[in-house]
Chains A and B, each alone.
Chain A
């Protein structure tokens, strides 16, 4: 079978200790559920000597809380995907997140994988998530061990795809990430969390840990839905995913956010939707959002599913998802 490179596993008991260990061991990587990093380690994608295993932080970072009176929803980074999919609070207040979680991988992986792990999921590309032998036969690539991009000819910036299903939902819902590092903690909106660089697509410093996701209380009143396009019904990363969150008052749009993932390194919030505020929340709105998404989103060959087709069906999927959110 494939072998794991030799690594030392550190087992901190607290967030503070974990962050200190990250700082003390440059290049160290985090191990939460292990569903992403273990195969990537077997593929030789990281030259790390140390893994910081987060199981000992479960008591600190595994919770779903509602902060009254604003009703802000706080999700600990070590909640498992399966817990979130089944959690009554999440299902009631953030149904699109529950939907997304229920469609990640398969049952066993959902029980291991964590929210933090999914949000920090390494970007994926058909040319990089492969064995060392395969990548060597290819001649390697920008993201690891090489200089060429096989997706964009002559490309200088890695376009490996954000392939997490929770990110588009949480972006659409206006969530923030709370992080901790030896320099203290910070809270930043998710749209500032992701970068358009497939080599490392978050702003997290090497010694910084995502500890919590905060979703504003008003998200619970948004009309929200998630859709995942995948080529089989389980154990598949998205060929496209999208989430929509609409504020609707008396049949009119009060706010609208639409996020599309599995394109390039950063989940894409569809831009320039402010002019839709005030319009009726109806089928024409759904069509219009589909058109805008189509205009702005250009799937690439980083995912092994025909990019032309993915782009072609995107407006259909957006329209249907919006209609589902609006329940019309």
Chain B
């Protein structure tokens, strides 16, 4: 794939990340690098019980321990909160009910971490342990035991049932039906940076919280509510972030605790989670059990998809309301479904809460569907790539559930991975133990649904031009490694002709920057990109007008590029152009831009959830090798082609594709949150919870497809989450090609593969006997 030639630093260029050097050389400031005078360190006491009534908490001994400055219990800030306004079901510290092993119960601030740790052991909590519900089955079978009191019916967080067309009729008439149960294990994000927050209160009672969050705006709102402070008195700043992946998109206990302790003590307070605590904070991938039917007509066209989904939510809702929808709503492309039904139930269980992990809600059903599609196509003898091509939904169409698809480069993606993997000559022909598998997917570029209903823009940008030629962009968006700060520099350079290195980005500081809702649902580049472009265009017009007046030409003839402003008869530096424009303005040069949510989605309850202004598309082919004597398998290579509309920075897009493939392959290989019978998470460490090392990572061939979306900034769509989805089913389908087994349960542990191989051999032996 070639990219149009662009000037350095402009949109489409491989401009280096603006925060890259600081991350590499250690000079970057993360939350834990913040050290303030007289700062205290706090630690949180956690429940050792999966489900227990709290009859009392006695902090007297801890409070008098030398070095301890303050203690904190839930009764001091009992208000419930949660990222979604309809499901406020968390407390910073539990007041009367601990809902999982690791749930937060009390907090101590001391002169250092060790003292705080020691003091925690002096807190006496009177627990009344109750039976714990650890599985979906138990949670549904025992409505009389409440995991979370917010649940209206039993332990159900959210139930969604939607049907589009007569599914049962279509299944009855189908030429082939795959009906199987697929099970997706829960996994977590494992960002390298643990959560950290620092709070300070100034003499006027203004609270500042630095937090490793990907949602400063929502954290500001919830801090204000829970602490009873006006929102204008709460400032949230997101420093440099060491990975998030959705694991930092809820308000977390530590943010409330440091804030309240700073208010109580008048001293700055910091909490840095241990790795173990990151596991309890969790909000990772939901375990899902999916009972799926995929029906094909005689031509191999998808006539019906029916999915009954059970979602294991853990003890709190988090984004769970959205999860229950996403699990169904995001499946309806890149293929046309004749009819579709999903019945999705998210339940509370006494485990750390699940939430949004990269590819929120849709990675699990995508796995189930893409494997089931292969299984159904196999019944008809249709090649896996051919069945996907034949069902391509097309461009500028509406999905069966009323989502509007604009650009769609899926066929091109499919073609690229087909060619690169030499599919036609190699699929089904690689010999025993080696195989190829394919899968496709679709994902959103933000959603029309703001987390709290309002008419204001989802994203705003404020731009200021200094007479020195320095451009400052004020953006509320969170750069969590996806590179939005870099893209903002590139967009300024593209629109105004300045050097991208002359752009300062002031980001994610609720006092200084306009609101952006946060880095989730792959919305940031799309929405803040459009907002920035709008702001840039306004200022570029002022620059052109001022330069045109000076040079005696029409504004339209002024070209802003390469750090200069040039007319037909003359040229000047960008700084001179800024000075002319500032003189003409008679005031500071500034402009604003915004992203305004358009009405999208089906006209039914929940129709806006998952309705996106543009969808990205991906196709993967995986090549695997299976050791049939041990069940150990490896991905030899994975080809991933992703339609991101327009690669504003191809290096960053490739990085997102590679990171996504890594994370998807990791879930296929080894990642799982495992609990014992009492609800204790096995091995909350990066030694026991294994994430792949570079040596375990497949060779990845990342390809970019540009479909030039009419709605995105410069045609761009998302690239950070979509490319994860097909990795898992492509690997499962490749394992089938390699050795004729269908693995329907994650992770694809070698023991499961070996067991399936034994069953296959028994079947083969049986059929030989019959023959």
Contacts and interface: CB of A to CB of B under 8 A. Distances in A.
Interface stretch (B340-348, B558-566, B677-685): B677-685
A1 to B, nearest CB: 6
27 contacts: A2-B275, A3-B113, A129-B687, A130-B685, A131-B274, A131-B684, A134-B684, A136-B48, A137-B48, A137-B101, A138-B678, A231-B670, A232-B670, A232-B690, A232-B696, A233-B693, A234-B695, A235-B693, A236-B687, A304-B674, A304-B682, A309-B631, A309-B751, A312-B754, A313-B631, A316-B629, A317-B630
Contacts of B274: 1-2, 131
B682 A309 contact: no
B629 A1 contact: no
A273 interface: no
A6 B118 CA distance: 11
Contacts of A5: 114
A44 to B, nearest CB: 10
Contact of A106 (B682, B690, B693): B693
A126 interface: yes
A22 B690 CA distance: 36
Interface string A135-168: 0111000000000000000000000000000000
Interface in B60-116: 101, 113-114
Nearest to A105: B687
A56 interface: no
Interface in A1-33: 1-6
Secondary structure class of chain B's binding surface, majority of residues: loop
Contacts of A278: none
A233 B750 contact: no
A-B interface, 5 closest residue pairs, ranked by CB to CB distance from nearest: A309-B751, A233-B695, A137-B48, A3-B114, A313-B630
Which range contains the number of A residues in contact with the other chain?
20 to 34
Given A309-B754, A313-B630, A232 B693 contact: yes
Nearest to B45: A133
Interface in A304-328: 304, 306, 308-309, 312-313, 316-317
Given A126-B682, A316-B630, A304 B688 contact: yes
Interface string B629-641: 1110000000000
B48 A133 contact: yes
B679 to A, nearest CB: 9
Nearest to A131: B276
| Chain A at the B interface: SS class | loop
A294 to B, nearest CB: 13
Contacts of A137: 48-49, 101, 678, 680
B272 interface: yes
A232 B692 contact: yes
Interface in B641-683: 670, 674, 676, 678, 680, 682-683
Given A133-B48, A134-B680, A137-B48, A3 B117 contact: yes
A144 to B, nearest CB: 16
A233 B101 contact: no
Contacts of B684: 130-131, 134
Interface of A: 1-6, 106, 126, 129-131, 133-134, 136-138, 231-237, 304, 306, 308-309, 312-313, 316-317
A309 B685 CA distance: 23
A3 B67 CA distance: 15
Contacts of A129: 687-688
Nearest to A6: B114
Given A133-B48, A309-B754, A312-B754, A235 B687 contact: yes
Nearest to B751: A309
B749 interface: yes
B703 interface: no
Interface in B248-301: 272, 274-276
Contact of A304 (B113, B117, B683): B683
Interface residues of B, number: 35
A233 B113 contact: no
B46 interface: yes
Most buried by B among A1, A3, A133, A313: A133
B114 A231 contact: no
B194 interface: yes
A133 B751 contact: no
A42 to B, nearest CB: 9
- For A134, A304, A313, which residue has the most chain B Cβ atoms within 10 angstroms? A134
A222 to B, nearest CB: 26
Nearest to B48: A137
Nearest to B676: A138
A260 B630 CA distance: 17
B750 A309 contact: yes
Contacts of A316: 629-630
A9 to B, nearest CB: 16
B126 to A, nearest CB: 16
Nearest to B115: A3
Contacts of A131: 274, 276, 684
B233 to A, nearest CB: 31
B670 A1 contact: no
Given A3-B114, A134-B680, A232-B693, A308 B751 contact: yes
Contacts of B687: 129, 235-237
Contacts of B676: 138
A83 B213 CA distance: 42
Contact of B276 (A126, A133, A233): A133
A103 to B, nearest CB: 11
Contacts of A234: 693, 695-696
Contacts of B631: 309, 313
A137 B674 CA distance: 15
A235 B687 CA distance: 7
Contact of B680 (A138, A309, A312, A313): A138
Given A233-B695, A304-B674, 16 more contacts: A3-B113, A3-B117, A126-B682, A126-B688, A130-B685, A131-B274, A134-B684, A137-B48, A137-B101, A137-B678, A232-B692, A234-B696, A237-B687, A308-B751, A316-B629, A316-B630
Nearest to A150: B676
Given A2-B274, A126-B682, A126-B688, A306 B749 contact: yes
A1 B194 CA distance: 9
Contacts of B194: 1
Interface string B680-721: 101111011010110110000000000000000000000000
